[in-house]
Amino acid sequence: MVPTSYYVGLSAVLFVIGVLGVIVRRDPLIIVLCVAAAEVAVGLAIIVAIFRLRRRLSVDELSLMRG
């Protein structure tokens, strides 16, 4: 199996690429596009983090906002 740290590391790389796009590009529409890409990377990281904490993924058990 792939360690969860790989997933989190990958999301960090994707997030930084998104941030780089926001800094570098000039077109406002492209900047929004890069924000969307970075945001999805954060979503992936959140899912993996929940996965790691709980060892299983069920929305029934995610009513707590703390670890």
Partner 1 sequence: MTTAGQIAFWILAVMAVASAAGVVLRRNPIHSALFLVVHLATLAAFFLKMRAEFLATAQVIVYAGAIAVLFVFAIMVLIPGREETGPDPLRAQRLFAVPVAGLLLVLLAVMLRSTLFAGAGPAQAVPGGVANIGRALFTDYLFPFEVTSVLLLVAIVGVMALAKRRLA
Please give the angle made by the CA atoms of 54, 56 and 57, to the nearest 5 degrees: 100
- Binders of partner 1 among residues 27 to 46 (CB under 8 A) are 27, 29-30, 33-34, 36-37, 40-41, 44
67 binds partner 1 (CB under 8 A): no
In whole angstroms, how close is the CB of 22 to partner 1 at the nearest point? 9
Q: CA torsion angle for 50, 10, 32, 20 (degrees, to 10)?
A: 140
C-alpha span between 45 and 31 (Å, rounded): 21
Interaction residues for partner 1, span 43-62 (CB under 8 A): 44, 47-49, 51-52, 55-60
Closer to partner 1 by Cβ: residue 58 or 65: 58
